[in-house]
């Protein structure tokens, strides 16, 4: 009778997981995207002037002319989950303007200050449309989730089907759904032009879904 109850309990748990869309094996296996040593796996044309590796950290910084740059992955991604740590510290009132660009046409997860709004939009999805930051994809509680300026924050982005989700330090920050952004494309790490800025990435891992 005890064994039967245990099997019944396990079966009930599996039914519950199925009903909720969860699964004990739902967590994808993340593989390194950045190896901590060099730019293997990224398109390096023109990158040397803006990107370097220091002590296992990927550092992106404007050149003297404050030109911008995207560091693109060699591989294209459709449905994926990416996790990484990032930190930045503003040295001017303009603030740091960076982000992760994905899919085709382009949609971006903003990190730092929006160039158009002059407001910190970290964790928000930028579409380039009107409005550029749809309210449905804004991380309105991001300030409560982020650590102080200059400290490492952990981000997780999931792009699955027509839905994009961002977590900041383990907490869901934003979700945006739009079937327009459906094509697979390289991922791009941005250095915004016209801004004196520096951003650092580490522990970059990714899994295709």
Quote the pLDDT of residue 168: 98
Give the domain range for residue 42. 29-208
Q: Can you give the pTM of this predicted structure?
A: 0.86
Under 8 Å between Cβ of 124 and 132: no
CA 63 to chain centre: 24
Quote the pLDDT of residue 8: 47
* CB environment 6-45: b (16+ within 10 A), e (fewer): eeeeeeeeeeeeeeeeeeeeeeeebeebbeeeebeebeee
Does residue 9 sit within a domain?
no
Does residue 161 sit within a domain?
yes
Residue 140, token pair as written in the block: 């309105």
- Total structural domains within the chain: 1
Quote the pLDDT of residue 189: 98
Question: pLDDT digits over 160-182, tens only?
Answer: 999 999 999 999 999 999 999 99
Could you give the C-alpha distances from 191 to 4, 42, 101, 179, in angstroms and in order? 60, 15, 11, 27
Alpha carbons 195 and 182: distance in angstroms, whole number: 30
Under 8 Å between Cβ of 48 and 37: no
Does residue 157 sit within a domain?
yes
Which domain CATH number covers 67?
2.60.120.560
Sign of CA dihedral 115, 119, 120, 124: negative
Does residue 194 sit within a domain?
yes
For tokens 């060699």, the residue is: 74
> Comparing C-alpha atoms, which of 36, 27, 78 is closest to residue 57?
36
Does residue 72 sit within a domain?
yes
Question: pLDDT digits over 10-47, tens only?
Answer: 444 444 444 444 444 578 999 999 999 999 999 999 99
Under 8 Å between Cβ of 169 and 54: no
Alpha carbons 146 and 139: distance in angstroms, whole number: 11
Quote the pLDDT of residue 26: 74
Does residue 65 sit within a domain?
yes
Question: pLDDT digits over 110-148, tens only?
Answer: 999 998 899 999 999 999 999 999 999 999 999 999 999
Q: What is the mean pLDDT of the chain?
A: 90
Does residue 137 sit within a domain?
yes
Under 8 Å between Cβ of 207 and 31: yes
Alpha carbons 174 and 207: distance in angstroms, whole number: 20
Does residue 85 sit within a domain?
yes
For tokens 């909720």, the residue is: 20
Quote the pLDDT of residue 29: 95
């Amino acid at each position: 009778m005890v064994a039967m109850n245990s099997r019944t309990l396990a079966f009930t748990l599996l039914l519950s997981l199925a009903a909720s869309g969860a699964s004990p094996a739902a967590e994808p296996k993340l593989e390194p995207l950045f190896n901590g040593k060099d730019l293997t796996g990224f398109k390096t044309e023109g990158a040397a002037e803006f990107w370097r590796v220091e002590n296992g950290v990927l550092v992106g910084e404007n050149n003297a002319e404050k030109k911008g740059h995207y560091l693109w992955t060699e591989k294209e991604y459709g449905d994926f989950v990416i996790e990484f740590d990032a930190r930045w510290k503003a040295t001017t009132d303009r603030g740091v303007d960076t982000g992760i660009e994905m899919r085709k046409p382009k949609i971006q997860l903003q990190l730092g200050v929006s160039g158009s709004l002059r407001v910190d939009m970290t964790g928000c999805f930028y579409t380039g449309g009107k409005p550029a930051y749809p309210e449905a994809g804004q991380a309105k509680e991001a300030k409560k989730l982020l650590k102080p300026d200059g400290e490492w924050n952990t981000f997780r982005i999931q792009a699955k089907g027509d839905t994009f989700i961002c977590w900041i330090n383990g907490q869901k920050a934003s979700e945006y759904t739009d079937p327009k952004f459906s094509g697979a494309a390289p991922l791009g790490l941005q250095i915004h032009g016209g801004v004196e800025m520096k951003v650092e990435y580490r522990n970059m891992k990714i899994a295709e879904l």
